[in-house]
Amino acid sequence: MSLKQYSEEMLPEIEKELQSQVKRLDDPHTHPFHEMLTYHMGWTGEGAGPDAAGKRIRPLLLLLAAASCGADWQSALPAAAAVELLHNFSLVHDDVQDNSDKRRGRPTVWAKWGVPMAINVGDTLFVLSNQATMDLIKSHPASIVVRAAAILHDSCLDLTRGQFMDMSYEERNDLTIEDYWPMIGGKTSALLAACTHIGALLGNAKNEIQENYRQFGYHLGMAFQIQDDILGIWGEESITGKSAASDLVEGKNSLPVLYALGKKGKFAQLWNQGPIKANEVKAVAAQLEREGAREYANEMSLKETGEALGFLEEANPEGLAGEAIIELANKLLKREQ
Amino acid sequence: MSLKQYSEEMLPEIEKELQSQVKRLDDPHTHPFHEMLTYHMGWTGEGAGPDAAGKRIRPLLLLLAAASCGADWQSALPAAAAVELLHNFSLVHDDVQDNSDKRRGRPTVWAKWGVPMAINVGDTLFVLSNQATMDLIKSHPASIVVRAAAILHDSCLDLTRGQFMDMSYEERNDLTIEDYWPMIGGKTSALLAACTHIGALLGNAKNEIQENYRQFGYHLGMAFQIQDDILGIWGEESITGKSAASDLVEGKNSLPVLYALGKKGKFAQLWNQGPIKANEVKAVAAQLEREGAREYANEMSLKETGEALGFLEEANPEGLAGEAIIELANKLLKREQ
């Protein structure tokens, strides 16, 4: 069975589980509140549908990790819902923090209902993630549930740390490449590592194998983020679905930028003078490339990709689900193809 | 041993546990972030000290519930920290949502570090609460840890529901007394119910006794909130520590207000005309009293107080800790004395 077949089987089940978890909120006093969550999840409102929902990569990774350890993936569905709800909690708060009024082509929760409500919607997605995790008790021993929850909570602390770093970097002008890794490790990789780790845990894998899955998820996140950073500066609009080079205008502390800031050359001078304007983007991107930032980022992306695939190979994923998770990893790691 | 002696023994241990839980955040990349949390918890910054920290009533209730079921309260400390961290998460977000720039006499987190950071500080207190809960595994069976976490998560969903209602009421002019109970049940009582419930659970109480403790906490919260509402309109500044009648100026949907709104009389007319001004407060409070709102609120407070003490009696708390929890309940329920 290929990734396509697994996806076709798993994605509707993930959606069903997510809907049943979010349903907890729906009571006569809180209908409009429930709607705010179903809107954000992509199920209701103008533009609802798969594009508004996102790709559900995290739950898919978790389920494929469990299945490739030989487990019945259905019993891992509450955990799959938990990681997706957690991811969405972070998106809702992120949009407020970044003042972003669009996500996946639609107005963000705060743009529709205001900041106070959006904070509460994010909080609630977090609560629902916690509750979904505890639902694992229906099909797993309590000790495994506690372990899964602890892994998820730890990744969440890393997430808030990464978020702090990202926000605090906006105030600083002494950043170097060393500031990149812990930020992105927290913001992107920690949760992906938790997904593959929990999948392996629920798949009854040995500790050593669990660790391989965890490392696979972690480096997958790093590689994915670096590629995202490269595309954000040098990508074609048609590939990324957003205006190429917009990361420069937005002042994002991406890998190429932090690499070049550490060089304290012409780019650093330009960057520290204030926001890059849209008409300067081409020249600034070219300057970045001349200073070696693109080449360095490509190297790091290849390095992290190698690590990710290496750990996945070490994990020795079983059967058709094993083939599917390798296929998913390759797909995620070669987005430009 | 009296409440005073228990408090003197427990409060320093609660503080120590809280500090060790918050310490998870402290790494070389996140020192200033750790400081935002220690500031909010009342340990650092200008004005740090017991007044800035608050009374730690929730952890105290939890530990006394555990002890009055005959348990060693020390082993329940991680849960005590968890409920206090959860409470503080909700305060940090609440201050953003209400645009309140002062808490316990000091600038709020958002007032000091901005809204985006404050959202993240609140999120982090929530994560730390989750992590503290999982620490129960050091001294309790996994099945009990899962049960404690589920109780806490459920109360947290009620909290977000109550928060939604509170915020959405600001837009409405058709409110009645029926809208009060679910809001306050979520915002105030749910977490107090979780405290006494989890205390009894960790104290190995039977289900029936656990339920009595839970109901005690729930009604304690209701009575406490109603009293707070009464004091917010008719209280003396010297008792409440805030300007008397400020709830009317702030437009708070308190019990007396919702009671009178349901009457659709003169008060409702005044209220729906727009914000009450400071110089109108005395007259509006007198009008509220004439419409029976004060008497009704007093009745409800007495009713809830009776329920709280009745359930506590049913729970039959043991020994000196039992005497102490009864003393604490009486103290909380008779704040004006």
* Contact check, Cβ <8 Å, A123/B124: no
Instruction: Give the number of domains in chain B.
Output: 1
Q: Identify whether the C-beta of residue B88 lies closer than 8 Å to the C-beta of residue B41.
A: yes
Residue A223 has pLDDT above 80, yes or no: yes
Q: Identify whether the C-beta of residue A33 lies closer than 8 Å to the C-beta of residue A189.
A: no
Average pLDDT of the residues in A217-241: 85
Q: Identify whether the C-beta of residue A180 lies closer than 8 Å to the C-beta of residue A262.
A: no
pLDDT at res. B213? 98
Identify how many contiguous H helices and E strands chain B contains and give both numbers.
18, 2
Nearest CA distance, A335 vs chain B (angstrom): 31
Q: Which domain holds residue A112?
A: 3-333
* Contact check, Cβ <8 Å, B157/A119: no
- Name the residue in chain A with its Cα closest to that of B157: A127
Residue A227 has pLDDT above 50, yes or no: yes
Of residues A27, A93, A149, nearest to B119 (C-beta): A93
Tell me the ipTM for this assembly: 0.95
CB environment A81-107: b (16+ within 10 A), e (fewer): bbbbbbbbbbbbbbbbbeeeeebbebb
Q: Which amino acid is at A121?
A: V
Average pLDDT of the residues in A101-117: 96
- Name the residue in chain A with its Cα closest to that of B26: A161
- Each residue's pLDDT tens digit, A261-290: 999 999 999 998 888 888 888 899 999 999
pLDDT at res. B241? 52
Residue ranges in chain B whose pLDDT is less than 70:
1, 237-245, 335-337
Q: Which residues of A touch B (CB under 8 A)?
A: 24-25, 27, 29-30, 32-33, 93, 96-98, 115-117, 119-120, 122-124, 126-128, 130-131, 134, 137, 141-143, 145-146, 149-150, 153-154, 156-157, 160-161, 163-165, 167-168, 182
> Which residues on chain A are in Cβ contact (under 8 Å) with B98?
116
* Contact check, Cβ <8 Å, A33/B146: no
pLDDT band with cut points at 50, 70 and 90 for residue A238:
very low
Residue A239 has pLDDT above 90, yes or no: no
Residue A335 has pLDDT above 60, yes or no: no
> Percent helix, strand and coil across chain A, each rounded to 5?
75, 0, 20
Give which of A216, A199, A192, A207 is closest to A72, Cα–Cα: A199
* Contact check, Cβ <8 Å, A156/B127: yes
- Name the residue in chain A with its Cα closest to that of B33: A164
Q: Identify whether the C-beta of residue A159 lies closer than 8 Å to the C-beta of residue A191.
A: yes
* pTM strictly above 0.80: yes
What are the structure tokens assigned to A287, written together?
Answer: 């300057």
- Each residue's pLDDT tens digit, A152-190: 999 999 999 999 999 999 888 889 999 999 999 999 999
Cα separation, A147 vs B134, in Å, equals: 9
Cα separation, B275 vs B160, in Å, equals: 26
Nearest CA distance, A48 vs chain B (angstrom): 23
Q: Identify whether the C-beta of residue B311 lies closer than 8 Å to the C-beta of residue B212.
A: yes
pLDDT at res. A240? 53
- CATH code for the domain of B277: 1.10.600.10
